């Protein structure tokens, strides 16, 4: 039962928020396992030109079982149609061989086709209203230039025949959203829009039937056309962000290696139950909480706790979901999976933080809440006033009220925000940042306090040896030889550094890795070891270190420091220069945190923070009136990310952290973060300017309309002029 409910939950989550599509669904994986024609999707992050398209498609089609391959350069993906049994790994290997980076994507997570349907729907409405607008405008120009009597009536009738079906079809997004807001007892921006469109059309039909001089068909259709463009831009911004977020999610296919009756099965993580035995290979992430029954290894817990030092694990050690196994294979008895796991308890913390965060009212919403009643009241007042002045001429009064509605109607207002957001997020996307939420830019512009996580955010989570220059040449050669034979991150870093110094590795034989401890071998008849302090007989220190023992000589320790993320220094410096308060919060030891804070010039630092303490710090700063930007990548940051005013996480962050944050950094460089704040401040200024432009235009036009001097020509001119001005102003963003 509970399993079924969980599945239901996940599907609901998937529809509620795009990034949650990351949640593993047992059903999805089961469907993927069924034998059928393979439709594979690969991500091609480096493809960029015609040659790339041809190379990739040819190479894939050379595979005997591949029917066809088609590159989509806009999305940087290739979709492959193949016979059953073709593995994505084969195709990735083929592409890697000819020099293209490729990653498998889970096609079920990518709901691009579904999302695209909405975009095509709006585009269709834009096309139809654009066609109608141009034709009606041709006829209207004839009327404006002086067509009289029967000719004018004929032109008005033809306009009506084009405009009415167009308005019914193209205006639907506004009508349905206006209806929804009316049912909810609110006056959204779509209510005056719908009212203006409907009133303008019906008044014009009435006027045409009575041979009136003024018909507003062109205005009704033009209003629809411009506002639909605003809608489409708004939709595009979100769709681009969503498809990229989906792609990040689709890169991780959550499965576990289950051991049952001596066989190893690959099962979806959702199917694990307490008591199951699972195997965790080196390099894999622990899929469920449990206790080690076999094997020894070291675990990287940086994403969970922020500790940069790997932790030893052997039979009896308790492991939490999300830790990464570094050296040896482990067998784990599951103690808690799914809802009960520590990962899920963390998610509850995030949910609490999110509900505590007040819903942000965007500039557009604030504007609408003030503007919408104003529009209705003005039009209604004009109606009553003219009813009074004309001594009961309802037709005249309604005509003028409609003119007021059309003129005040927020064509430019509808474009004011989406045009700026599209332009700004396009700019940031080129710098490698992905805006997941339209209001994130506005919130980013208000930030005055910045909180950085340490491990994985300011640092790469990749260690760098500090003192290899002090080592004797012979020792270094031995260390390099030992390090080359291991997959442990410290060993990898050491080997890389040795290669960088052009060290020739010594001839060490009988190399053997002792999982969880280190690596040993024979060199000139002596035993040499590289590994943990207690294993080689050294005293464990405060710093991250590995130890080298040659024969019976005293062990030498090689200390490591975490490598700074590129751009971290620039980002921190830019924030400090801009007068923002910068904090460093980490779950790591105070020695490591204070060293980094001193190196970057950060005055406020907090070490040894638990996830809840990070969230509490964010809450305390917010309570004291600060607008907090949280930059973090780990599970331990997730609650703080969700609770902050606005949050940023790198693409290397865990899924949960990316989901909780508003902006995702696509590259490894942290430099764009400071730039993003600058662009956001500028974008907010442009939005306000746009509002001012549309208001000024109203200040001029509304009195004219109320006094009854507005003509359809004036309305059309004012409407298009203000829309074009607003769009051009948005493009000025630098």
Please give the distance of CA 478 from its chain centroid, rounded to a whole number.
46
H or E element, residue 620: helix 611-623
Nearer to another protein, 101 or 526 (CB): 101
Please give the distance of CA 562 from its chain centroid, rounded to a whole number.
27
Asked if 128 touches another protein (CB under 8 A), the answer is: yes
Q: How far is the CB of 123 from another protein (least distance, A)?
A: 6
Distance CA 137, CA 217 (A): 9
Asked if 135 touches another protein (CB under 8 A), the answer is: yes
Distance CA 291, CA 276 (A): 11
Distance CA 642, CA 190 (A): 30
Query: What is the bridge-based pairing of β-strands 526-531 and 544-550?
Result: antiparallel
Distance CA 67, CA 82 (A): 5
Nearer to another protein, 31 or 124 (CB): 124
Distance CA 675, CA 43 (A): 28
Distance CA 670, CA 648 (A): 10
Nearer to another protein, 150 or 554 (CB): 150
- Interface residue with another protein among 4, 50, 502, 623 (CB under 8 A) is 50
Q: What angle do CA 498, 499, 505 make, to 5 degrees?
A: 70
Binding segment for another protein (CB under 8 A), chosen from 133-141, 213-221, 402-410, 423-431, is 133-141
Nearer to another protein, 50 or 469 (CB): 50
Q: How far is the CB of 33 from another protein (least distance, A)?
A: 29
Nearer to another protein, 87 or 101 (CB): 101
Distance CA 646, CA 630 (A): 7
Query: What is the bridge-based pairing of β-strands 263-268 and 318-319?
Result: unpaired
Binding mask 390-419 for another protein (x = CB under 8 A): ------------------------------
Q: How far is the CB of 40 from another protein (least distance, A)?
A: 18
Asked if 54 touches another protein (CB under 8 A), the answer is: yes
Binding segment for another protein (CB under 8 A), chosen from 67-75, 95-103, 207-215, 621-629, is 67-75
Name the residue with tokens 């390090």. Answer: 483
Q: How far is the CB of 652 from another protein (least distance, A)?
A: 26
Q: How far is the CB of 70 from another protein (least distance, A)?
A: 9
Q: How far is the CB of 51 from another protein (least distance, A)?
A: 8
Asked if 134 touches another protein (CB under 8 A), the answer is: yes
Q: How far is the CB of 128 from another protein (least distance, A)?
A: 7
Q: For the stretch 574-587, what's the b/e string if a residue is b when 16 or more beta carbons lie within 10 angstroms of its beta carbon?
A: bbbeeebbbbbbbb
- Interface residue with another protein among 20, 26, 32, 123 (CB under 8 A) is 123
664 strand-pairing partners: 434, 649
Residue 358 to residues 206, 494, 620, 622, 643: CA-CA distances in angstroms?
A: 48, 48, 15, 11, 9
Asked if 74 touches another protein (CB under 8 A), the answer is: yes
Q: What residues between 266 and 285 interact with another protein by CB under 8 A?
A: none
- Interface residue with another protein among 127, 474, 487, 551 (CB under 8 A) is 127
- Residues 656 and 671: beta-carbon distance below 8 Å: no
Number of residues near another protein (by CB under 8 A)? 24
Binding segment for another protein (CB under 8 A), chosen from 28-36, 121-129, 167-175, 721-729, is 121-129
- Interface residue with another protein among 26, 73, 576, 595 (CB under 8 A) is 73
- Residues 709 and 414: beta-carbon distance below 8 Å: no
Q: How many CA atoms lie within 13 A of 673 on its CB side?
A: 36
Closest CA to 363 of 726, 685, 18: 685
Nearer to another protein, 71 or 660 (CB): 71
Nearer to another protein, 158 or 485 (CB): 158
- Interface residue with another protein among 158, 352, 514, 578 (CB under 8 A) is 158
Asked if 360 touches another protein (CB under 8 A), the answer is: no
Q: How far is the CB of 114 from another protein (least distance, A)?
A: 14
Q: How far is the CB of 88 from another protein (least distance, A)?
A: 21
Closest CA to 656 of 640, 677, 668, 676: 640
Q: How far is the CB of 127 from another protein (least distance, A)?
A: 4
- Interface residue with another protein among 17, 20, 75, 182 (CB under 8 A) is 75
Q: Within 10 Å of residue 352's Cβ, how many Cβ atoms?
A: 15
- Which residues are the active-site residues? 453
Distance CA 61, CA 221 (A): 49
Binding mask 495-534 for another protein (x = CB under 8 A): ----------------------------------------
Nearer to another protein, 163 or 564 (CB): 163
- Interface residue with another protein among 12, 124, 265, 472 (CB under 8 A) is 124
Nearer to another protein, 43 or 649 (CB): 43
Q: How far is the CB of 1 from another protein (least distance, A)?
A: 42
What 3-state DSSP class applies to 548? strand
Q: Which residue intervals of 431-467 are DSSP H helices? A: 440-445
Nearer to another protein, 158 or 578 (CB): 158
Distance CA 215, CA 4 (A): 59
Binding segment for another protein (CB under 8 A), chosen from 6-14, 124-132, 351-359, 568-576, is 124-132
Nearer to another protein, 49 or 554 (CB): 49
H or E element, residue 197: helix 190-209
Query: What is the bridge-based pairing of β-strands 103-105 and 77-82?
Result: unpaired
- Interface residue with another protein among 32, 53, 331, 492 (CB under 8 A) is 53
- Residues 47 and 71: beta-carbon distance below 8 Å: yes
- Residues 477 and 506: beta-carbon distance below 8 Å: yes
Q: What angle do CA 397, 403, 405 make, to 5 degrees?
A: 105
Binding segment for another protein (CB under 8 A), chosen from 49-57, 208-216, 276-284, 546-554, is 49-57
Distance CA 93, CA 144 (A): 67
Q: Which residues have CB under 8 Å from 139's CB, separation 6+?
A: 155, 156, 158, 159
Q: What angle do CA 41, 102, 91 make, to 5 degrees?
A: 65
Binding segment for another protein (CB under 8 A), chosen from 131-139, 267-275, 419-427, 672-680, is 131-139
Binding mask 81-120 for another protein (x = CB under 8 A): -----------------------------------x---x
Q: How far is the CB of 236 from another protein (least distance, A)?
A: 11
**The pair of three-digit structure tokens given for residue 548, joined into one six-digit string:** 């080298």
Nearer to another protein, 75 or 666 (CB): 75
Distance CA 202, CA 164 (A): 9
- The torsion angles phi and psi of 36, rounded to 5 degrees, stand at -160, 175
Q: How far is the CB of 58 from another protein (least distance, A)?
A: 9
Nearer to another protein, 81 or 365 (CB): 81
Residue 508 to residues 416, 483, 511, 552, 655: CA-CA distances in angstroms?
A: 69, 11, 7, 16, 42
Binding segment for another protein (CB under 8 A), chosen from 66-74, 364-372, 419-427, 531-539, is 66-74
Chain positions contacting another protein, by CB under 8 A: 49-50, 53-54, 71-75, 116, 120, 123-124, 127-128, 131, 134-135, 138-139, 151, 154, 158, 162
């Amino acid at each position: 039962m509970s399993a079924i409910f969980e599945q239901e939950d996940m599907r609901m989550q998937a529809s509620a928020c795009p990034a949650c599509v990351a949640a593993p669904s047992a059903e999805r994986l089961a469907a993927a396992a069924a034998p059928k024609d393979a439709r594979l999707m690969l991500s091609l992050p480096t493809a960029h030109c015609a040659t790339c398209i041809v190379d990739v498609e040819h190479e894939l089609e050379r595979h005997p079982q591949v029917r066809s391959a088609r590159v989509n350069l806009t999305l940087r993906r290739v979709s492959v149609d193949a016979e059953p049994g073709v593995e994505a790994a084969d195709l990735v290997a083929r592409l890697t061989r000819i020099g293209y980076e490729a990653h498998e994507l889970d096609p079920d997570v990518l709901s691009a086709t579904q999302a695209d349907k909405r975009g095509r729907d709006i585009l269709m409405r834009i096309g139809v209203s654009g066609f109608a607008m141009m034709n009606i405008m041709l006829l209207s120009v004839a009327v404006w230039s002086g067509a009289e009597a029967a000719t004018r009536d004929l032109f008005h009738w033809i306009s009506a025949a084009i405009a009415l079906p167009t308005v019914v079809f193209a205006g639907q997004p506004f009508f349905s959203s206006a209806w929804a807001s009316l049912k909810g007892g609110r006056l959204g921006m779509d209510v005056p829009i719908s009212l203006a469109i409907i009133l303008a059309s019906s008044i014009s039909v009435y006027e045409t039937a009575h041979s009136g001089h003024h018909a507003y068909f062109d205005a009704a259709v033009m209003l629809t056309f411009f506002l639909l463009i605003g809608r489409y831009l708004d939709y595009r911004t979100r769709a681009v962000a969503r498809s990229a977020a989906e792609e990040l999610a689709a890169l991780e296919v959550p499965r576990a290696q289950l051991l049952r009756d001596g066989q190893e099965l690959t099962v979806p993580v959702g199917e694990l139950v307490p008591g199951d035995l699972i195997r965790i290979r080196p390099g894999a992430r622990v899929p469920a909480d449990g206790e080690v029954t076999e094997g020894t290894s070291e675990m990287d817990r940086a994403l969970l706790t922020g500790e940069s030092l790997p932790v030893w694990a052997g039979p009896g050690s308790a492991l939490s979901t999300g830790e990464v196994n570094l050296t040896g294979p482990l067998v784990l008895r599951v103690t808690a999976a799914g809802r009960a796991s520590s990962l899920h308890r963390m998610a509850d913390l995030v949910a609490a933080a999110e509900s505590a965060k007040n819903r942000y009212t965007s500039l557009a919403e604030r504007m609408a809440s003030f503007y919408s009643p104003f529009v209705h009241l003005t039009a209604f007042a004009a109606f009553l006033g003219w009813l009074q002045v004309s001594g009961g001429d309802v037709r005249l009064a309604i005509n003028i009220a409609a003119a007021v509605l059309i003129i005040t109607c927020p064509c430019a207002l509808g474009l004011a925000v989406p045009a700026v957001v599209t332009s700004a997020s396009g700019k940031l996307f080129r710098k490698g940042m992905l805006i997941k939420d339209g209001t994130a830019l506005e919130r980013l512009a208000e930030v005055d306090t910045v909180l950085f996580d340490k491990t994985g955010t300011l640092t790469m989570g990749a260690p760098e040896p500090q003192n290899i220059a002090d080592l004797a040449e012979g020792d270094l050669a031995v260390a390099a030889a030992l390090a080359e034979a291991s997959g442990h991150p410290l060993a990898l870093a050491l080997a890389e550094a040795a290669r960088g110094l052009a060290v020739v590795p010594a001839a060490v034989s009988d190399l053997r890795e002792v999982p969880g401890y280190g690596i040993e071998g024979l060199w000139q008849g002596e035993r040499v070891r590289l590994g943990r302090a207690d294993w080689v007989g050294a005293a464990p220190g405060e710093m991250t270190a590995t130890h080298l023992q040659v024969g019976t000589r005293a062990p030498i320790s090689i200390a490591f420091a975490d490598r700074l993320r590129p751009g971290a220094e620039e980002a921190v410096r830019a924030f400090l220069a801009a007068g923002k308060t910068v904090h460093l919060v980490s779950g790591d030891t105070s020695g490591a945190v204070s060293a980094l804070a001193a190196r970057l010039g950060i005055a406020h630092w907090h070490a040894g923070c638990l996830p809840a303490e990070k969230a509490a710090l964010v809450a305390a700063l917010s309570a004291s009136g600060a607008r907090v930007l949280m930059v973090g990548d780990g599970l331990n940051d997730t609650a703080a990310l969700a609770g902050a005013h606005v949050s940023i996480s790198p693409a290397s962050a865990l899924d949960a952290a990316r989901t909780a944050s508003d902006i995702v950094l696509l590259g490894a460089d942290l430099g764009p973060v400071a730039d993003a704040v600058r662009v956001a401040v500028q974008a907010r200024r442009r939005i306000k300017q746009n509002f001012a432009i549309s208001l000024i235009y109203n200040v001029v036009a509304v009195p004219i309309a109320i006094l009854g001097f507005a003509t359809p020509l004036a309305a059309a001119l004012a409407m298009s002029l203000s829309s074009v001005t607003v769009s051009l102003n948005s493009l000025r963003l630098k």
